[in-house]
A = this chain, B = another copy of it.
Amino acid sequence: MPDTFLDENKPANRFARAREAQAVALLEDYVEMIGDLSAELGEARVADIAERMHVSQPTATKSIARLKREGLATSRPYRGVFLTDEGARLADRVRDRHRTVVAFLIRMGVPEDIAELDAEGIEHHVSQVTLSAFEAVLNCKT
């Protein structure tokens, strides 16, 4: 699994690409969440992850299993979940991207609460090129 997901692969067409991005979106959300919890509480417990993701605890466990399969996290039974180096890098990138998208939407005149909601869906589909364009807008046109 490459360090960056979306930008490497070039699926057949825009629909296939969007499907690809959607499959990765969940992983990105979980990784960011685990990173946040680790920073806040020192560790990420399954129960906390489930609560914040608004899913049941077994659902969280199942998704965490996928994170482990993908090499993004580790965990031992009845212990907390920890990000691998790769997972931590992904979490940082996801968090930065989220902040950029939210800030960009707000700059475009979108109310903050709606910017936050929309960004959660949009961010997973923003390529590096588009993200850079957003950053350019944020930096230049004060």
Taking the complex as formed, is A117 at the interface, i.e. its CB lies under 8 A from any CB of chain B? yes
Determine if B12 and A54 form an interchain contact, defined as CB atoms under 8 angstroms apart.
yes
Smallest Cβ-Cβ distance to A125: which chain B residue = B121
Query: For A130, what are the chain B residues with a Cβ–Cβ distance below 8 Å?
Result: 105, 108, 110, 114-115, 118
Number of copies: 2
Query: For A21, what are the chain B residues with a Cβ–Cβ distance below 8 Å?
Result: 121
Taking the complex as formed, is A77 at the interface, i.e. its CB lies under 8 A from any CB of chain B? no
Taking the complex as formed, is A13 at the interface, i.e. its CB lies under 8 A from any CB of chain B? yes
Query: For A97, what are the chain B residues with a Cβ–Cβ distance below 8 Å?
Result: none
State A67–B122 Cα separation when bound (angstroms): 24
State A63–B107 Cα separation when bound (angstroms): 38
Query: Could you tell me how many residues of chain A have their Cβ less than 8 Å away from some Cβ of chain B?
Result: 36
Taking the complex as formed, is A120 at the interface, i.e. its CB lies under 8 A from any CB of chain B? yes
State A24–B129 Cα separation when bound (angstroms): 26
State A137–B109 Cα separation when bound (angstroms): 9
Smallest Cβ-Cβ distance to A108: which chain B residue = B133
State A25–B121 Cα separation when bound (angstroms): 11
Determine if B18 and A25 form an interchain contact, defined as CB atoms under 8 angstroms apart.
yes
Q: What 9 pairs across the A-B complex have the smallest Cβ distances? A: A121-B125, A14-B120, A18-B121, A109-B133, A18-B120, A108-B133, A122-B125, A110-B133, A114-B129
